[in-house]
Structure 1
Amino acid sequence: MESSNTSASDVGQTRKYVSEDMTIGFIGAGRMAQAMTKGFVTTGIIKAKNITASDADPRMLQFIKEFGVTTTQENKEVVYKSKVVVIAVKPNVVTKILKEVKEHVSKDKIVVSIAAGVPLSTFEQNLPPGSRVVRVMPNITVTVQAAASVIAPGTSVQLNDSELVRELFQSIGICEIGSENLLDAVTGLSGSGPAYGFIAIESLADGGVNMGLPRDLALKLAAQTLLGAAKMVLESGKHPGQLKDDVCSPGGTTIAAVQSLEKSGFRACLIDAVEAATLKAQELGSKNK
């Protein structure tokens, strides 16, 4: 798997594959599409005037229109206007959408799917032969331009297609290129992972309140602590186990806390959570083939 730690702030220096006049369209203007649009426009990698979005729900179009993009209720219009077409609808309507726009998907377009659990084969079977399809698994932290995404290229992608899509997603977080057989596990780890983090923050804050801290202070301390720990892992290059050891002084407070976590099965709980989410992703994927 190819990795990249490029941050949104680095986009201006790393733009290589996404041209200044790149056009992108969203079929489906829900939360993820809105967050991605905000990120693309904020970082400047895509101009608002070059983004078109469609949705059957006028409310979604009103929300995404606030970023200055063009909106429509015609999915075909999105395909017609866009070099990169992002399929951002619920998995159960993907096939219907693909059949609707099929005749407008030419070989000069890149189709990007963020529909969870829908395999590349579904796209390639329902679009013209040779269609350039890339599947992406981002997560909800795209909302704050801190997404963790993995992309998997289809069988007909052309030279640099994957790099172009990765460059787009690097503007809203970090992105890696992998194979499709990894995406269910990616879903279990980073796709569902923000929920695990939210529970950890809430629980740490509860612990602080239990020990006498005001709720608002405990919550801020818990969130900032996990943010800082994550930044240390990403930026130091050290294994998290080593960083943990660095904090644990002999006979100190942290090693006592670590012992308590081990007794409670903290590691096993997280491992089991990733496994459960991965198995569920596999189950959902089998239903969308």
Structure 2
Amino acid sequence: MAETTERQGEFADRRVALIGAGVMGEALLSGLLRSGRPASQIVVADRSPERLMAIAEKYSVSVGSGPEAAADATTVVIAVKPQDMAGLLREVGQHLKPGALVVSIAAGITTAFLEEHLPEGTPVARVMPNTPALVDEGMTAVSAGAHCETHHLWEAQDLMRGCGKVVSLSEDQLDAVTAISGSGPAYIFYVVEAMIEAGVLLGLPRGTSTELVVQTLYGAATMLKETGEHPTVLREQVSSPGGTTMAALRELDDHKVRAAFLTAMEAAAKRSHDLASGHV
């Protein structure tokens, strides 16, 4: 209880406006509250009145329009679709407090774009989260804009820690981040789908196959995290000479699965770069 009170005191003069209450916006809101931010210091805006009503009832936070939310905030987090960003920035920019930090979680929106559509000198940060943020196991990269000072960067990092881990990187690395961790959950789900189907093909009930695969995935990820061993070492521990695992891995190598993953992630990084450059 004392720790929670201390954290709430830390945020006493840092009011956050969250504009956009979709899936990622709500995940961030939930994480902020769990990390100790008092609901009284958060205001949420969304263009759907029904969505705002549901958010206010569920989380006991203040709600309002984008300009109203931004006007009293020290940090404005924008979680809207990329195509809606330019109009929203023009709408809220004139209402920003001097020195207020603007944080964007919209894919493909660069810090230069944010700065271009906001008042001169506005500190901005760009963040790339991923969907495990919904279960507090997200991985987020944060990049600072031209006017973003150290304390602004710390605030952007702190915002995202309620949803998982955070790293700070230069913006020119965000295309790679998008390809690896941003899109990464989809690759994992893709492999899990294939493994479950293999179990069914081999005669297992679908429910049993799903349980086997999901727990195996969870256990393997936990081993990677807790042992600190290189994945090659852990793979070799399972791969007895002439055994079943080696037979399976040989098939994967014969089908060039490793090369396919590399090529796929290169394609994702290129697509991220194209989107950020306006080449849709």
TM-score over 0.5 for the pair: yes
Equivalent residues in 2 for 1:278-289 (5 A)? Answer: 278-287=269-278
C-alpha offsets along residues 170-229 of structure 1, whole Å, 9 cap, x if unaligned? Answer: 221111100111111111111111111111111111111112222112112212222222
Where 2:150 maps in the other structure, the secondary structure is coil
In the alignment, which of 133, 138, 158 is matched to residue 142 of structure 1?
133
Aligned residues: 275
> Which residue is equivalent to 2:183?
192
| 1:164 matches 2:155 | yes
In the alignment, which of 69, 72, 78 is matched to residue 81 of structure 1?
72
> Which residue is equivalent to 1:30?
22
Shift of 1:81: 2.8
| Runs of 4+, deviation exceeding 6 Å | 15-18
**Runs of 5+ in structure 2 lacking a partner?**
none
**Distance in 1 separating the partners of 2:53 and 2:232:** 47
**Runs of 5+ in structure 1 lacking a partner?**
1-11
Shift of 1:144: 0.8
| 1:98 matches 2:98 | no
Shift of 1:168: 2.4
> Which residue is equivalent to 1:6?
none
**Distance in 2 separating the partners of 1:216 and 1:81:** 51
Task: Please give the root-mean-square deviation of Cα atoms over the aligned residues, in Å.
Answer: 2.2
Assess if the C-alpha contact under 8 Å between 2:74 and 2:97 holds in 1. no
**Distance in 2 separating the partners of 1:90 and 1:106:** 24
Equivalent residues in 2 for 1:108-127 (5 A)? Answer: 108-127=99-118
Q: Which amino acid aligns with 2:29?
A: T
Q: Percent identity?
A: 36
**Distance in 2 separating the partners of 1:246 and 1:18:** 49
Task: Please identify, of 81-90 and 100-109, the stretch whose mean Cα deviation from structure 2 is larger.
Answer: 100-109
Assess if the C-alpha contact under 8 Å between 1:25 and 1:53 holds in 2. yes
In the alignment, which of 168, 182, 188 is matched to residue 173 of structure 2?
182
Assess if the C-alpha contact under 8 Å between 2:8 and 2:38 holds in 1. no
Shift of 1:58: 2.4
Shift of 1:34: 0.8
**Distance in 2 separating the partners of 1:69 and 1:136:** 23
Shift of 1:234: 2.5
> Which residue is equivalent to 2:261?
270
| Higher relative contact order (Cα pairs below 8 Å, separated by 6+ residues) | 1
